[in-house]
Structure 1
Amino acid sequence: MKRDFTVRKYGELLDAFTEAGYNFQRVEDFIQKPNAQVVVLRHDVDLRNWAAIRLAKLEASLGIKSTYYFRIGPQSYNPKIIKQIVDLGHEIGYHYEDLATCNGDIEEAIHSFEKNLSKIRYFYPVKTVCMHGSSGSPYDNRDLWNYYKLEDFSLICEPYISLDYNKVLYLSDTGRRWNGFKMSLRDNVKSSYNYNFYKTKDIIKNIETLPKQILINAHPEQWTNNLPEWLFVKIFSIAHTFYKIHYRNPKIKG
């Protein structure tokens, strides 16, 4: 049986989109000049930052440029890795979680945001940022933008709030499945589309039925060819999903 969520399988997914006539854009490029038939590739680097290099190198070998959002913290932020990904031609952005880490204090959070954004901008002229779900926190990091504007920080896009998902299909691998939005508090969008893919092969099989514009969020730590690592991530995903459904999500909603 072929394993899903390997780097090889990710390559098969990219090849399938290419064969179906799609091209690829970074988030900043799509916002400024969107292609008609396109997959916008976005990567939230939440954990195990070295995994981002695997996808970044594969994409570069295929002539594809994508977007990588880094958190501030040792599990994500790593100057050496960020530099390598920038050198491969990819976009870098800030995966912010300041409202959660500042316990809902808006003023403290925006100062934290600006400080952390400058750290990422040391490596790349950041134009887009994307919130980290911080699903263990009662605070939604996107609420910062109820008080401030992206343009105040020379930003042009926050994917969760700047795109029309009635026109752009959103696909995320959260929970190591493509319909994990059903279990996620914040990694989901309001959309008229009603696709319900579970495995990567389900997307490939139905690729001809998909809309012309798609945004894919692929978390690098989910994808590995290494069997021990793959098994670890699978077990962790199963346990974490159980925890989210039966404890964390009801607690946060409450």
Structure 2
Amino acid sequence: MKTLLNRIYYDYLVPSQFDRYEELVRLASNAGYLQTSLRSFFSSIPLNGAGPQKVIVHRHDIDTDVCTAKKIFAIEKKLGIKSSYYFRISTLDFAFMREIEEYGSEASYHYEEIATFAKKHHIRDPAEIMKRMAEVRAEFVNNFTSIERRFGLKMTTVASHGDFANRRLRLSNTEILKDKELRDRCGIVCESYDKNLLKHFDIYISDSSRPAPQYYYPTSPFDAIGRHNKICFLTHPRQWETNWRENTKDNVIRFYEGLKW
């Protein structure tokens, strides 16, 4: 019941958090942090692991709400910072993605082929998914190359989406990217959960669907500034402003997929 009430609050009642996001970006800038994309940060890490002294990597996972993502992007452009935006197949917006890249930020793929494959074939056994991983990876390659072709730009990093099917299977979509040949064929240099990326952060913070004032996990990024030099901050635009149309649509689709699976 508590989880359901939290979901209702964040989907339909949460007030706009844009002022808080702008406050965070200004605070970090004034404290001397470089605020950048995952791609830029990863490419800046030399072999000795030095990189920028103070940095926040902003990662936005566009699960449902492109409209809200555009508002976050407008704030970032106004304040002159860069970030990464990862789009699911259901949220692809190629015009917006090109605008992100033209500005100097990053737009790429928020993939979920294990969850999609499991729901499509009514598979609830993770062992069965592993047996058919070659098929799952083939679907990933097809989706990735199709998106890249329509996008017209190279994507070099990707981010796994965490679907309800992944939680029930206890199997992450990151399993797909454990194939080096697949990475080389697609030209993927980094996955957002790669150990050789995460080891360069002092702390990894995500926004949270917990009730106010617990908006973040494991701590507030406001508290992290000044305490930690290298911060990764993951956000989901749907949790920063209520968009009842998109949230209702997503909830209906999720309910239907759960019943059908």
TM-score range with shorter-chain normalisation? 0.7 to 0.9
Distance 1:5 1:213 in 2: 27
Distance 1:21 1:11 in 2: 16
Distance 1:69 1:213 in 2: 21
Instruction: Establish whether residue 169 from structure 1 lines up as the match of residue 203 from structure 2.
Output: yes
Q: In the alignment, what sits opposite 1:142?
A: 174
Distance 2:57 2:15 in 1: 21
Q: In the alignment, what sits opposite 1:191?
A: none
Q: In the alignment, what sits opposite 1:44?
A: 61
Q: Deviations over 1:36-73 (max 9, x none)?
A: 21001111000122211111111011111111001112
Shift of 1:205: 4.6
Instruction: Establish whether residue 129 from structure 1 lines up as the match of residue 158 from structure 2.
Output: yes
Q: Which amino acid aligns with 1:214?
A: I
Q: Which structure has greater helix proportion?
A: 2
Q: Which amino acid aligns with 1:145?
A: L
Q: Deviations over 1:200-247 (max 9, x none)?
A: xx43255222x11111111112223xxxx37x59x99xxx9xxxxxxx
- Secondary structure of the residue aligned to 2:115 is helix
Q: When the two structures are superposed, what TM-score results if normalisation uses the length of structure 1?
A: 0.72
Instruction: Establish whether residue 108 from structure 1 lines up as the match of residue 135 from structure 2.
Output: yes
Distance 2:157 2:237 in 1: 19
Q: In the alignment, what sits opposite 1:11?
A: 22
- Asked if the contact 1:45–1:52 (Cα under 8 Å) also holds between the matched residues in 2, the reply is yes
Distance 1:56 1:120 in 2: 21
Q: Summarize the Cα distance change of 1:145–1:80 in structure 2 as closer, same or farther, 3 Å threshold.
A: closer
Q: Which amino acid aligns with 1:6?
A: Q
Shift of 1:4: 6.8
**Match among 209, 212, 221 for residue 203 of structure 1:** 221
Unaligned 5+ runs, structure 2: 1-13, 45-50, 119-128, 252-257
- Secondary structure of the residue aligned to 1:152 is helix
Equivalent residues, number: 207
Q: In the alignment, what sits opposite 1:243?
A: none
Q: When the two structures are superposed, what TM-score results if normalisation uses the length of structure 2?
A: 0.71
Q: In the alignment, what sits opposite 2:8?
A: none
- Asked if the contact 1:44–1:219 (Cα under 8 Å) also holds between the matched residues in 2, the reply is yes
- Asked if the contact 1:40–1:214 (Cα under 8 Å) also holds between the matched residues in 2, the reply is yes
Q: In the alignment, what sits opposite 1:160?
A: 193
Distance 2:57 2:103 in 1: 17
Q: Summarize the Cα distance change of 1:174–1:206 in structure 2 as closer, same or farther, 3 Å threshold.
A: closer
Shift of 1:135: 3.0
C-alpha RMSD of the superposition? 2.6
**Greater length-normalized contact order (CA 8 Å, ≥ 6 residues apart):** 2
Q: Summarize the Cα distance change of 1:153–1:206 in structure 2 as closer, same or farther, 3 Å threshold.
A: closer
- Secondary structure of the residue aligned to 2:64 is coil
